[in-house]
Amino acid sequence: MGVIFYLSHQQAVESNSLSTGITERIVAIIERATFGIEVDLVQFNHLIRKSAHFFAYLVLGVLVSNALNSHGYAGFKLFWVTMGICVLYAISDEVHQLFVPGRAGQVRDVLIDSAGAVVGIGGFLVVLGLSSRLRKSDAGKI
């Protein structure tokens, strides 16, 4: 949450400079790997920025799920409490951006953030279920 807050607190010029720098590196690699196929930097930068929202909240979903799981939450309760935390944080992050020069809060970003959280929580629950089954099958072999 601290990393998300830090990145959201960057003014628009600074934030765009950071993402454009990352995008330029990725585009250079793509253009070299595809023998000169040109990539529209502006559109690709937009995709990178929105993907960053998704993946940041995917990670947040995993981390919050793990924290709640270690405190006894499981199943649907784990999913919904984690989802609530992630969505409320996404909303508060967009409200926070309303006060950062050049930035704006967007409902679309909350939806992208929420989708990332769902994937992160789902992935956590799948891995948790698989590891539980493996432990049970290993315990039966002893």
Q: Is the pLDDT of residue 142 over 60?
A: no
Amino acid at 130: L
Task: List pLDDT tens digits, range 74-129.
Answer: 999 999 999 999 999 999 999 999 999 888 889 999 999 999 999 999 999 999 99
Per-residue pLDDT band at 136 (split at 50, 70, 90): confident
pLDDT at 77: 97
CB 120 within 8 A of CB 62: yes
The better pLDDT of the pair 84, 25 is held by 84
CA pair distance 82, 94, nearest whole angstrom: 18
Lowest mean pLDDT among 56-70, 100-114, 128-142: 128-142
pLDDT of res. 25? 84
Stated pTM of the model: 0.83
d(CA 98, CA 82): 25
Alpha-carbon torsion 60, 61, 62, 65, what sign?
positive
